[in-house]
Amino acid sequence: MSQTGPTREALQSANIERRLEEALTLEAHELAGVPEVKVEHSVRRGEADVLIELAGVTQRYAGEGGRQGRVALEAVNLRIFKGEFVCLVGPSGCGKSTILNLIAGFMQPSEGRVLYKGRPIAGPGPDRAVMFQDHALFPWLTVQRNVEFGLKMANRHERQIRKKVARNYLAMVNMAGHEREYPHQLSGGMRQRVALARSLALESDVLLMDEPFSALDPTTRDMLHEQLQRIWMETKKTIVFVTHSLKEAIRLADRIVLMGTNPGRVRREIAVDIARPRELNSLALDEINIVLRRELQNEHRPQLPLEMPGLEFNI
């Protein structure tokens, strides 16, 4: 290992800590009724770099059988820049999946606007691929055919080209050699890798990921984090990634969007500028995790345990 590594990492981590402290000093605004606190983004980006924008988004779900509806999101403002890796983190029910579904175009906001390249999102499109926690592979199709099927549905390429593209992306997620196998012959981690290949093969500008690795064991998750980091660095996609795990978010994100419940809203945004590729057991990762955990626990103590179900501090 090089001698300069630890020093640089320590400096980066001190920098993150300083900015987190700055964020904390803004707490007074929150108390004064301004819920959204923003940390300066590490790379200043202009209007032209905004790819996705939620402007004043409120989302209500209708209640069933005459019961009162639920406000899943209230007055959410969020900007996602081109090529950014953003993680949405927050307790269960704070509206993370709702945000993803809005960006995917699966539904329209009750109030406010959801924009892609400055235009309202009217529905799903090939520019935004989605990957869910459940791999949703077709059990009757081989690994290769599952990836090809995604391409076919999206009307991408001729059959021969589809074959080649599918093989390339399977190789990218280290699944070369498994093309002829069926999903039931694979481990959970392998199935998620096929699902990842299927999403990547669409070559969309945006990848929306809803807790894609949460059902996996820590070792497999670690490996997939490594692969996803590498793929993101190679492809420069814009990724919006939902997770319950703060440490997973710190490992992957350029920016963490912390959400709160009742109603769902953005509580805070934190830029993470630790150099990549990031190791799971690195000093910088641990330090930022400790600082954030302390902050979150302080912030949520009055509501514990009600406010925090499902928010993990470790992976």
Residue 109 binds ligand ATP (CB under 6 A):
no
CB of 258 to ligand ATP, least distance (A): 12
Residue 97 binds ligand ATP (CB under 6 A):
yes
Compare residues 97 and 146 and give the one whose CB is closer to Mg ion. Answer: 97
CB of 72 to ligand ATP, least distance (A): 3
Compare residues 147 and 250 and give the one whose CB is closer to ligand ATP. Answer: 250
CB 205 within 8 A of CB 103: no
Residue 310 binds ligand ATP (CB under 6 A):
yes
33 class by beta-carbon count within 10 Å (0-12 exposed, 13-18 middle, 19+ buried): exposed
- Output DSSP code: residue 312: B
Residue 108 binds ligand ATP (CB under 6 A):
no
Q: Which two tokens stand for residue 73?
A: 């999101």
CA 255 – CA 284 distance, rounded (Å):
15
Plot region of 30 (φ>0 → left; ψ -120 to 50 → alpha; else → beta): alpha
Region from 50-58, 91-99, 190-198, 221-229 binding ligand ATP, contact rule CB under 6 A: 91-99
Residue 265 binds ligand ATP (CB under 6 A):
no
CB of 302 to ligand ATP, least distance (A): 20
- Output DSSP code: residue 59: E
Q: Mask: binding to ligand ATP, 44-73, rule CB under 6 A, as x and -?
A: -----------------x--------x-x-
Residue 300, CB-side half-sphere exposure with 13 Å CA sphere: 21
Residue 105 binds ligand ATP (CB under 6 A):
no
- Output DSSP code: residue 230: H
Residue 148 CA to its chain's centroid (Å): 25
How many residues touch Mg ion (CB under 5 A)? 1
CB of 286 to Mg ion, least distance (A): 27
CA 136 – CA 80 distance, rounded (Å):
27
Question: What beta strand segments (E) does 183-299 contain?
Answer: 206-210, 238-243, 255-260, 265-271
Residues that bind Mg ion (CB under 5 A): 97
Residues that bind ligand ATP (CB under 6 A): 61, 70, 72, 90, 92-98, 244, 264, 310
